[in-house]
Amino acid sequence: ETGVTQSPTHLIKTRGQQVTLRCSSQSGHNTVSWYQQALGQGPQFIFQYYREEENGRGNFPPRFSGLQFPNYSSELNVNALELDDSALYLCASSLPGTARYGYTFGSGTRLTVV
């Protein structure tokens, strides 16, 4: 059974650009959650997708958007990048109702905005 995989591992973007981060969920897991972790801080919840629909969102502006595909993989899109978007972006997958038993995260994508 494969775990959660994220790509790319690192990338550097310029302020104002757009970026897409990808997440492949663990086999059979139909719920995907995204978190942002700035340096020296705990992760912050961005949103969660279940069956291709967003069903929960944290305090992030609309320029953070996502998609979930029929195979349950997911994308996080960020438009009009700002310097403060520099962070580690984490993806976790779960089955409905099981997230309360704990997530396993992917290895993350380190985004640097210059």
Partner 1 sequence: QKEVEQNSGPLSVPEGAIASLNCTYSDRGSQSFFWYRQYSGKSPELIMSIYSNGDKEDGRFTAQLNKASQYVSLLIRDSQPSDSATYLCAPYSNYQLIWGAGTKLIIKP
18 binds partner 1 (CB under 8 A): no
Q: What's the CA gap between 7 and 90, in Å, rounded?
A: 10
Residues binding partner 1: number (CB under 8 A) = 25
Given 7, 17, 18, 55, the residue binding partner 1 (CB under 8 A): 55
Token pair of 41, please? 């801080």
Q: With CA atoms as reference, report the closest residue to 5 among 101, 72, 98.
A: 72
| Three-class secondary structure of residue 9 per DSSP | coil
Given 20, 58, 60, 73, the residue binding partner 1 (CB under 8 A): 58
56 binds partner 1 (CB under 8 A): yes
Backbone angles phi, psi at 41, to 5 degrees: -125, 165
Could you list the residues that contact partner 1 (CB under 8 A)?
33, 35, 40-45, 48, 55-56, 58, 88, 90, 99-108, 110
